[in-house]
Structure 1
């Protein structure tokens, strides 16, 4: 299992790099001012950072409980990324609609675009992170 410090480093570096990429890209793509999109992305990233920590901690505990190991296969990485993005989308949808003054449907389409971007980004980033900072094998914990 990863240490708390390692989980914090992972979450903060993931969100910081993501903000640098997504703010100008989505301000341009959705034709909203960079400032408005930047505030939304930072608010979303703050929520996502907290959720990232909690989601990954829970996911690793389930893996450790079920398999005695937190390493992820390719299919498990896909499941991990999809579950994370789907739950984050549900949490952030009202914020998108309110902040950008758009309908829930328009916000949903934006969120799906963000989720698609971040799903690919999460997959690539986490794989790279795990390669640079491999998780330690852990003992199986019985419940």
Structure 2
């Protein structure tokens, strides 16, 4: 699977699993009702999905211009760090507002989520590539 279809399937699968993990965790961590935490998780998911599409588009453009186009361990780590680091900053004000906590507490919350999502993004993308193959941008040029 390649192109837009790959990006859409990847983003939807990633976010469905993410909401299923984050909503109960937020509910427990902040003693919030499940509906309140699920709404936040879904909102965060929508923002993350938009970020995912833009970030992956940019990353794959960069990747396609590299002399070595395979997805090495280091390249996967950089991909996950860039995606999750950017998302931490984007979601900071939303988390603070929604949970009625300070920016500092929201940053700590986002950093905790970052640890989970850093590992999750790495494992998910690796598994996704195993099931659907890597995108053309990561395939070695054929002579």
**TM-score, normalised on structure 2?**
0.89
Matched, 1:32 2:32: yes
The answer to whether the Cα contact below 8 Å between 2:11 and 2:49 also exists between their aligned partners in 1 is: yes
Partners of 1:57 and 1:2 lie apart in 2 by 13
1:111 paired residue number: 110
Q: Kindly tell me the number of residue pairs found equivalent between the two proteins.
A: 139
Could you list the runs of 5+ residues in structure 2 that have no partner in the other structure? none
2:80 paired residue number: 81
User: CA offsets per residue over residues 30-53 of structure 1, 9 Å max, x none?
Assistant: 322222211111010000001101
1:60 paired residue number: 60
**TM-score, normalised on structure 1?**
0.89
2:134 paired residue number: 135
Choose 83-92 or 18-27, whichever is displaced more: 18-27
Could you list the runs of 5+ residues in structure 1 that have no partner in the other structure? none
Runs of 4+ aligned residues of structure 1 deviating over 6 Å after TM superposition are none
CA RMSD of aligned residues (A): 1.9
